[in-house]
């Protein structure tokens, strides 16, 4: 137990990321600390969870967390993200899971080099359209292919559900101005953005450094969310529109919440991001990218050099 002024936990003493529970979602409870465990208490009783076994703690509606619990989670290399129901809608986050900047550096390096940025962008399109060879396409050609594929997805679900589709149209200032399908799409996409945003910050990446989208503080969020829309948000939105629900937004959020939670999107999203930035996650030791706690100094000739060393002339 790390008391005030005590020694911070060393990375080698922590549970490796690969051996942790990736994401733990809690709602309608009080989160506290008992020795090296966090506790979740509601009317049914109290559950103890070793803090070092948690990668990311998602706090849903109705949760209260104590200062002691936050301090323990921080010391354990875990992060806390405040979210909506079942992880839907990102609100805020604490420190990221990683103590290393390597994944963020990989993102920054890839996005600032034209060749590597195009490589990642192509990989994103390959993940969305695995039956097409996009290895030699330019960004203009990729956008054209994407537009055609997405229009086809909308058309297929329109035919499947009988919901008329005349195109994507929405007013961010007037949600109810859209027709049922556009309202449902706005609600499901918003939920997806929240989940993806929480994963991005939890693993230490920047939501702003996008590869396809750019110039917005959530550009990378939109990049990653687009990987899953054809599979998740679009079919759910058409189902909601076809149901003639009196409350399109609420029904859309409920159904997409269940789809995201049941499909284990949190773990899948984290895996996909790592694959895009550093290669196959199965071949990369998580400890190398998440639990390294070494501070180095940059050198323009020799790369990184050791920190905590006096480089002054002793003479």
Say if strands 37-42 and 79-83 run parallel, antiparallel, or are unpaired: unpaired
Mean pLDDT, the chain, as a whole number?
83
Same domain, 22 and 154: no
- pLDDT surpasses 90 at 158: yes
Helix axis angle, 102-111 to 114-128, nearest 10°: 100
Same domain, 257 and 194: yes
Please give the backbone phi and psi of residue 22, each rounded to the nearest 5 degrees, phi first: -55, -50
Say if strands 37-42 and 90-93 run parallel, antiparallel, or are unpaired: unpaired
The predicted-structure confidence for 207-233, as pLDDT tens digits, reads as follows 999 999 999 999 999 999 999 999 999
Report the alpha-carbon distance of residue 165 to residue 151 in Å, rounded.
10
- List all residues 6 or more positions away from 47 whose beta carbon is below 8 Å from its beta carbon: 39, 40, 41
In this predicted structure, what is the pLDDT of residue 223?
97
Residue 261 labeled ligand binder: no
- pLDDT surpasses 90 at 310: no
* CATH (domain of 22): 3.100.10.20
Say if strands 79-83 and 54-59 run parallel, antiparallel, or are unpaired: parallel
Final residue of a structural domain among 19, 53, 83? 83
Sheet containing strand 37-42, edge to edge, reads 45-50, 37-42, 30-34, 64-65
Nearest to 23 by CA among 195, 182, 139: 195
CB 10 within 8 A of CB 52: no
Nearest to 204 by CA among 279, 69, 105, 59: 105
Asked whether residue 157 is domain-assigned, the answer is yes
Same domain, 74 and 109: no
In this predicted structure, what is the pLDDT of residue 257?
86
Residue 226 labeled ligand binder: yes
In this predicted structure, what is the pLDDT of residue 154?
96
- pLDDT surpasses 80 at 32: yes
Residue position matching structure tokens 């967390």:
65
The predicted-structure confidence for 140-154, as pLDDT tens digits, reads as follows 999 999 999 999 999
Asked whether residue 113 is domain-assigned, the answer is yes
Same domain, 77 and 225: no
Residue 146 labeled ligand binder: yes
Report the alpha-carbon distance of residue 36 to residue 294 in Å, rounded.
24
- pLDDT surpasses 50 at 289: no
Same domain, 136 and 275: yes
- List all residues 6 or more positions away from 309 whose beta carbon is below 8 Å from its beta carbon: none
The parent domain of residue 22 ranges over 11-83
SS3 268: helix
- Give pTM, 2 decimals: 0.77
In this predicted structure, what is the pLDDT of residue 176?
73
Report the alpha-carbon distance of residue 16 to residue 254 in Å, rounded.
34
Asked whether residue 134 is domain-assigned, the answer is yes
SS3 27: coil
Same domain, 124 and 252: yes
Report the alpha-carbon distance of residue 246 to residue 200 in Å, rounded.
34
User: 92 pairs with which residues across the strands?
Assistant: 82
Asked whether residue 263 is domain-assigned, the answer is yes
Split into its structural domains, the chain has a count of: 2
Report the alpha-carbon distance of residue 152 to residue 227 in Å, rounded.
16
Please give the backbone phi and psi of residue 311, each rounded to the nearest 5 degrees, phi first: -105, 10
User: 23 pairs with which residues across the strands?
Assistant: 56
The predicted-structure confidence for 46-64, as pLDDT tens digits, reads as follows 999 998 888 788 899 999 9
Nearest to 13 by CA among 287, 303, 302: 287
In this predicted structure, what is the pLDDT of residue 294?
60
In this predicted structure, what is the pLDDT of residue 71?
92
- pLDDT surpasses 70 at 67: yes
- pLDDT surpasses 80 at 285: no
Query: Is residue 287 very low, low, confident or very high in pLDDT (cuts 50, 70, 90)?
Result: very low
Same domain, 267 and 156: yes
Mean pLDDT lowest among 65-69, 92-96, 247-251, 287-291: 287-291
Query: Is residue 280 very low, low, confident or very high in pLDDT (cuts 50, 70, 90)?
Result: low
User: 21 pairs with which residues across the strands?
Assistant: 54
The predicted-structure confidence for 219-278, as pLDDT tens digits, reads as follows 999 999 999 999 999 999 999 999 989 999 889 988 998 888 777 888 889 899 999 999
């Amino acid at each position: 137990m790390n008391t005030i002024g005590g020694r911070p936990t060393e990375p080698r003493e922590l549970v490796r990321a690969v051996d942790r529970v990736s994401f733990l979602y809690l709602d309608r409870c009080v989160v506290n600390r008992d020795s090296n465990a966090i506790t979740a208490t509601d009317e049914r009783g109290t559950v103890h969870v070793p803090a070092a076994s948690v990668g990311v703690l998602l706090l849903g509606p109705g949760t209260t967390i104590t200062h002691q619990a936050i301090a323990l989670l921080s010391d354990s290399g875990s992060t806390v993200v405040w979210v909506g129901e079942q992880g839907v809608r990102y609100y805020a986050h604490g420190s990221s899971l990683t103590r290393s900047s390597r994944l963020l550096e990989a993102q920054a390096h890839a996005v600032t080099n034209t060749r590597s940025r195009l490589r990642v962008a192509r990989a994103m399109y390959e993940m969305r359209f695995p039956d097409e060879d996009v290895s030699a396409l330019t960004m203009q050609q990729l956008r054209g292919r994407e537009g055609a594929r997405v229009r086809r997805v909308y058309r297929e679900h329109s035919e499947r559900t009988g919901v008329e589709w005349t195109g994507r149209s929405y007013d961010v200032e007037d949600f109810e101005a859209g027709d049922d399908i556009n309202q449902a799409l706005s609600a499901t996409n918003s939920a997806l953005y929240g989940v993806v945003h929480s994963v991005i910050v939890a693993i230490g990446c920047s939501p702003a450094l996008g590869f396809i989208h750019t110039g917005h503080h959530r550009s990378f969020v939109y990049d990653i969310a687009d990987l899953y829309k054809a599979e998740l948000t679009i079919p759910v939105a058409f189902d909601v529109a076809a149901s003639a629900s009196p409350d399109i937004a609420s029904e859309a959020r409920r159904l997409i919440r269940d789809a995201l939670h049941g499909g284990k999107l949190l773990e899948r999203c984290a895996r996909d991001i790592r694959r895009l930035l550093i290669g196959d996650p199965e071949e990369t030791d998580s400890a190398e990218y998440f639990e390294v706690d070494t501070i180095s100094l940059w050198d323009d000739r020799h790369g990184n050099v050791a920190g905590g060393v006096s480089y002054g002339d002793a003479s």
